[in-house]
Structures are given as structure tokens and as C-alpha cells.
A and B are shown apart, each in its own frame.
Chain A
């Protein structure tokens, strides 16, 4: 479980750092609503990623693909309910931009791709 905690810590901190930086950029551009939406979306993206890691040991207790898939369905529905919260908030409150929230929900995925594809490549190139 220690590796999972370390992975979560790494990507979640990268995602939050990126979200705060983007919030400042949007603030300077006068697009506060998008910035707030992005920050809110990122926060829930991070929560989703943490919950996913917490539920993981339960997945691994399942012996077959079908049992694992059934458990994954329950887990996804639970996490989708969490991810729906910022979307609904942004549709109800006009000071939070919907598109900002949508992009924010993918920040953890973007952080993973950025870290593994770009940062890692740069490390390999430096070593070479």
C-alpha cells in the first residue's frame, strides 16, 4: 500500500500545484469563473483518485475478471457520484464556470500523462 500512497501523493500534489497555477493565470486574465471551476474540478479529481486507491485492495481480493468488473462497476458509480458534485455546483452557481470544472476533472489524468510521457523522457534524455 505504501507505493499506492506515494503514487497518489505525487500525482495529487502535481495536479493541485498545476490547478493553483492555472487559477492564478485565469485570475490575471480576468477569467475568475473559469479559474474557480478549474480549481474545483481538480479538487474533486484528486478526491476521486484518492478514493480509487482506497478501494483498490478490495478489487484485488476478487478472483475472477467478472467479479472484479462487478466490483469496479459499484466503485465507479460511487466515484461518479462524487465527480457529479462539482458539475452540478457549477450549473447552479454562475460564478463557477462549467467548462473550467470539466477540464479540472481531468487534471490528475493530465498530470499522469505529463509526468510519464514528458518528464520521464526528459530524465532519460538527460541520462543519455
Chain B
């Protein structure tokens, strides 16, 4: 039934599209739901501010759903593209693209909901800074989309990659691994970035005078939180662009697939951990602005240490690619 190459490619393409939009919708829905939940809480505190809170919620949700729209675009391309290839590697590349974008949209979708929710809550506490809160929320949410953009780039590269006469084994595993590496690693970075942005909205509502330092700490914290997804992107690029010699043994393919899995899952924890560190720093900057420099240093040291597990994952991935 599945021996026809064209059928297998179609199966991979449709399966990838399903995973892509399914996971992408979950991330955006959880993020938007969080924002809506916090908006409910805020309106119950200050019903007279419901108009401003709903306006903030609408704008926050519109930006939060960008990751989901990226997933939608990739899913539509996977469904409707004319894959006239007769190479089985195309199936691996298309399925990998779906996995990459689906997982990659989860973190950014959830993460973007945090600043939206905290900004709604902040509005009920500090209505006078509504404009600053919304600006900060939008900057934080936009930065949260970075891991999803990395995933979309890798997905498009996988979809439009010229397979040429690359050997089926072990390249199929390298292409799948490339999708898993960036997509799964993006979960942690997206959520971590969102936690940081959420804390900054909360902090601005607590002490609007500290806006400048809070925003700077947020951006630095978010930038470091993105590192695991950059490691994931690096491993994906190696897996996509390195030419692997033909091998009939399963171990060579498993090593490449393992490299992608290793970096992908290895990036989740550090991404969230870095976000937690930055979240703490951002919260305390607004409470004690004099200690902002010390807090920034402590945050960076903390993030560097929590980054170490992502570095271990990357080292093992590289060993699997180049040594095994």
C-alpha cells in the first residue's frame, strides 16, 4: 500500500502539516487563554477599566498569535505544494519541516501570552501607565516570536532544499533530526522569553519610574534566553548542509537522529531556566533600582550556569554528528 514513493511523500507531507498546525494552535491558544484569564481577573478588580483592559487584551492576543500564523503558512505549503519528487528523502524533509514548525510555535505562543496577561493586570493596578505598559508588552511579545521565526526558517529550508543525489541513508535521519533540533529547542526559549517579558510588565505597573532599567534588563534577559534555540538552529544547519557518506547501517542514521533529539530536548530546560532567572532579576529591578547593576550581573551569571546543560546537549550532538 505504501510502497509507492509519491504516496509516501504525500503521507509525510500531510502528516507533517497536521502536526504543524495542531501543535501551533495549542501554543497560541494557551497563550491567548492566559491573557484572557488575566484580563478577567483585572476586570474583576477594576470593572471601570474594562474598556482599556479589553483593548490591551485584543492587541496582546493579536501579536501572540503570530507564531500560530507561521505554523498555518507552513501547513498550507505542505498540503498544497506540488511535490513531484521521486526521492524518498523528500518525505523525510517535509515531515521534518512540519515537526519543526509545530513544536517551534508552542513556546512562542505560550510565551507571548505572559506579557499580555501581566499587562492586563498591570492596567488595573496602574492605569496611568497604560501606554508604556502596552509598548513594553508589544516589544516583549515581538521578541518572544524569535524562536518561532527560527523554526519557520528551518522549515522552509527543509521544504525547498535541493535533495539532489544525496544518499537516502543516513540523510533521512539528518533531515528529521534538523527539524526536531530547532523545533523542540524553541519551546524553552519561547517560554523563557515570555516569562521575562511578563515580569517586566508586572514591574512597570509596580514602579513606572524604573521603566528604562526594567526594559533593558528584560531585553538582555530575553536575548540570553534565546541562546538554546540558537544552539538548536546551529545543529539543524549542520545536519541539513553536511553531506554524509552513504551507510547501510542503522547506527549511522540513529546517530544523526539522536543528535537532533539531543539538542532539541536539551534546549527546553535551559530556555525556561534562563527565563526564570531573568524574570527574577526584572522583578527585583523595579523594587530596588539602585541594585540594578548588581542584579543584571547576577542574572547573567545565573543564566550562564543554567545554560551549561544546553552546551552539554550541543557537545553531545556534535559528537554524534562528527565522531560517531
Chain A residues at the B interface, C-beta cutoff of 8 Å: 1-4, 6-8, 11, 49, 52-53, 56, 59-60, 62-66, 68-73, 75-77, 79-80, 83-84, 87-88, 91-92, 98, 102, 105-106, 108-109, 112-113, 116-117, 120
- B40, B62, B72, B80: the one contacting A49 at CB < 8 Å is B62
Selected A-B contacts with CB under 8 Å, 25 pairs? A2-B51, A3-B54, A8-B58, A52-B58, A59-B33, A59-B39, A60-B40, A62-B37, A62-B40, A68-B36, A68-B40, A72-B36, A80-B25, A83-B72, A84-B72, A84-B76, A91-B77, A98-B77, A102-B73, A109-B62, A109-B63, A112-B63, A113-B138, A116-B135, A120-B135
Contact A60 B54 (CB under 8 A): yes
Complex Cα distance A64/B34, Å? 9
Interface 1/0s, chain B 118-151, versus A by CB < 8 A? 0000000000000100110011001000000000
Residues of B within 8 A of A109 (CB): 62-63, 66
Residues of B within 8 A of A3 (CB): 51-52, 54-55
Contact B25 A62 (CB under 8 A): no
Given A113-B142, A116-B134, A91 contacting B33 (CB threshold 8 A): no
Chain A interface mostly:
helix
Residues of A within 8 A of B142 (CB): 113
Residues of B within 8 A of A49 (CB): 62
Contact B54 A68 (CB under 8 A): no
Given A52-B58, A53-B58, A73 contacting B26 (CB threshold 8 A): yes
Contact B62 A108 (CB under 8 A): yes
Smallest Cβ-Cβ distance to A57: which chain B residue = B54
Contact A120 B69 (CB under 8 A): no
Within 8 A of A (CB), among B50-97: 51-52, 54-55, 57-59, 61-63, 65-66, 68-69, 72-73, 76-77, 80-81
Contact A68 B37 (CB under 8 A): yes
Contact A112 B138 (CB under 8 A): yes
Residues of A within 8 A of B134 (CB): 116
What is the minimal beta-carbon distance from B289 to any residue of chain A, in angstroms?
21
Residues of A within 8 A of B69 (CB): 80, 83, 105-106
Residues of B within 8 A of A92 (CB): 80
Smallest Cβ-Cβ distance to B81: which chain A residue = A91
Most B CB within 10 A of own CB, among A59, A76, A98, A106: A76
Interface size on B, residues (CB 8 A): 40
Complex Cα distance A53/B36, Å? 12
Asked if B176 is at the interface (CB within 8 A of a chain A CB), the reply is no
**Top-7 shortest CB links A-B:** A69-B33, A3-B51, A73-B29, A65-B37, A68-B36, A72-B32, A59-B36
Contact B62 A60 (CB under 8 A): no
Contact B76 A60 (CB under 8 A): no
Asked if B233 is at the interface (CB within 8 A of a chain A CB), the reply is no
What is the minimal beta-carbon distance from B14 to any residue of chain A, in angstroms?
15
Most B CB within 10 A of own CB, among A66, A88, A91, A112: A112
Residues of B within 8 A of A70 (CB): 29, 33
Contact B29 A69 (CB under 8 A): yes
Contact A4 B55 (CB under 8 A): yes
Complex Cα distance A18/B107, Å? 30
Asked if B314 is at the interface (CB within 8 A of a chain A CB), the reply is no
Asked if B21 is at the interface (CB within 8 A of a chain A CB), the reply is yes
Complex Cα distance A113/B58, Å? 13
Most A CB within 10 A of own CB, among B51, B52, B62, B66: B62
Asked if B43 is at the interface (CB within 8 A of a chain A CB), the reply is yes
- A7, A52, A77, A105: the one contacting B55 at CB < 8 Å is A7
- B68, B72, B138: the one contacting A117 at CB < 8 Å is B138
